[in-house]
Amino acid sequence: MINVGIVGATGYVGCELLRILLNHKKVNVSALSSVSFKDQKIASVYKSFNGITDLICENSDDVIEKSDVIFTALPHGLSEDIAYKCYKAGKILIDMGADFRLSDEEEYKFWYGKSFKHPELHEFSCYGLPELNREKIKSSKIIANPGCYPTSIELALMPLLKNSLIETNDIICDSKSGATGSGRSLTLTSHFVELNENFAPYKVGAHRHTPEIEEILKVMSKEKVKVTFTPHLLPINRGILTTIYCTPKEEINLEKIHELYSSTYKNETFVNVLDLSETACTKNVRYSNYCNISLHQNFRKDKLIIVSAIDNMVKGAAGQAVQNMNLILGFEEDEGLNFISPSF
Ligand SMILES: NC(=O)C1=CN([C@@H]2O[C@H](COP(=O)(O)OP(=O)(O)OC[C@H]3O[C@@H](n4cnc5c(N)ncnc54)[C@H](OP(=O)(O)O)[C@@H]3O)[C@@H](O)[C@H]2O)C=CC1
Ligand SMILES: CC(=O)N[C@@H](CCC(=O)OP(=O)(O)O)C(=O)O
């Protein structure tokens, strides 16, 4: 049995990872860590684990020592030192934050205000989007799990960009997220009275997921890609819905585009290309690792409109991380991830 541990188990992503990993048949959750809740049972932090696990929050070094695979679910900038210790000990590190997502240190400094602490580790870390990097992930020891918004955008655009079918200088990505996306810490914007019955964009024109999205879209298209990305906060717990507007290089035949998406994703367990009569929505992917994609065009037939939906906590975070772990360990890719979204 492979031992796995979570550093930062008391946050929303850590908690969701624990929920998934406790149901995984081929791994044993060996240790969890927290600073604020050290020495306390995780079941006293999240009561849903009562009667299911007696695991106690330890420190991060305990997690590294007791685990073969370590997940870091920490604020940005705290995972590199842990990655270094894991690397030295020959262990696998899957980081849920942004520490290893950008390859360009100048971009990282600009958006995250920090330099790389261990630049040598960045040389061989791998961006963990299985549908793009499956083979590289299998042989990697440091995984940068993608951001939630980037996952919804990258999967929605991959078939078009890989086949050079759209203009790449002005792609508009309009995303909406549930409130778990901002983590467990209390903030004014996640306060019930501020969030409930409200809907608003934030960080308009300058969200730090923009460089991650542009870097990965460039890998897909092999040319510079410019996106205008605007996130919005929805008064729901889970889910991301992204609507993308792009300009085809040639006249569109939506049926042909649908065939392209269907063939690109035909062997992908976790990407569903919906029929042309359907529209993706958050409800049908909640609690699941699926990304649903629907394809549309405007009435003038000069714009393509792609809609994608994921659960930010699952395909946008913990589920994708477990998918990456499964690939590295040679398990079935969907092991422990066969959740069907509740219909109501
Ligand atoms: N929420 C989401 O939808 C997604 C989040 N992510 C990323 O995953 C990571 C975790 O996010 P999320 O769970 O939402 O965040 P939370 O704020 O809910 O949790 C943060 C975790 O980090 C720990 N922590 C905070 N400060 C420190 C510190 N100085 N030293 C050690 N541990 C610390 C907290 O533990 P404690 O206070 O108990 O010590 C807690 O376990 C972030 O990088 C986030 O950007 C990625 C994709 C989606
Ligand atoms: C609703 C909300 O606040 N969402 C978060 C994104 C959460 C996330 O994915 O964090 P990463 O940066 O690790 O990817 C935000 O906009 O910063």
Segment 99-136, tens digit of pLDDT = 999 999 999 999 999 999 999 999 999 999 999 999 99
- The pair of structure tokens assigned to 78 is 């705290």
Q: Is the pLDDT score of 152 beyond 90?
A: yes
Reply yes or no on whether the pLDDT at 189 is more than 90.
no
Which pLDDT does position 226 carry in this prediction?
98
Q: Name the closest ligand to CA 310.
A: 1
Question: 76 CB under 6 A from ligand 1?
Answer: yes
| Percentage of residues in the chain having pLDDT higher than 70 | 100
Instruction: Kindly write down the DSSP assignment for every residue of 114-152, as one continuous string.
Output: ---S-HHHHTT-EE--HHHHHHHHHT-SEEEPPPHHHHH
Q: How far apart are CA 335 and CA 183, in angstroms?
A: 26
In DSSP notation, 18-37 reads HHHHHT-TTEEEEEEE-STT
pLDDT at 164: 97
Dihedrals phi, psi of 78, to nearest 5 degrees: -105, -5
Q: How much is the ipTM here?
A: 0.97
Q: What is the mean pLDDT of residues 76-100?
A: 97
Q: CATH says 149-312 is which class?
A: alpha beta
Contact 282, 178 (CB under 8 A): yes
The pLDDT tens digits for 25-46 are 999 999 999 999 999 999 999 9
Q: Is the CB of 63 under 6 A from ligand 2?
A: no
* Ligand 1 closest atom vs CA 96: 8
- Centre of ligand 2 to C-alpha 182, Å, is 6
For ligand 2, say whether the CB of 23 is within 6 Å of any of its atoms: no
Q: What is the pLDDT of residue 321?
A: 98
pLDDT, position 252? 86
Residue 313, ligand 2, Cβ within 6 A? no
The candidate with the shortest Cα–Cα distance to 246, out of 285, 282, 217, 215, is 217
The Cα–Cα gap between 249 and 118 comes to: 42
148 ligand 2 Cβ < 6 A: yes
Query: What pLDDT does residue 318 have?
Result: 98
What are the domain boundaries of the chain? 2-124, 149-312
* Residue 226 alpha carbon to ligand 2 centre in Å: 20
Give the number of whichever ligand sits closest to the CA of residue 208: 2
Query: How many Cβ atoms sit within 10 Å of the Cβ of residue 264?
Result: 18
Residues 247 and 166: beta-carbon distance below 8 Å: yes
What residue type is assigned to position 57 of the chain?
C
| CB neighbour list of residue 24: distance below 8 Å, 6 or more residues apart | 322, 335, 336
State yes or no: pLDDT of 279 exceeds 90: yes
CA of 170 to the centre of ligand 1 (A): 33
Q: Into which CATH architecture does domain 2-124 fall?
A: 3-Layer(aba) Sandwich (3.40)
For residue 153 and ligand 2, the question of a CB distance below 6 A is answered with no
* Contact assessment for residue 312 and residue 300, using Cβ atoms and an 8 Å cutoff: no
- pTM (global) more than 0.90: yes
Given the CA of residue 182, which atom of ligand 1 is nearest to it?
Answer: 1
Active site residues: 148
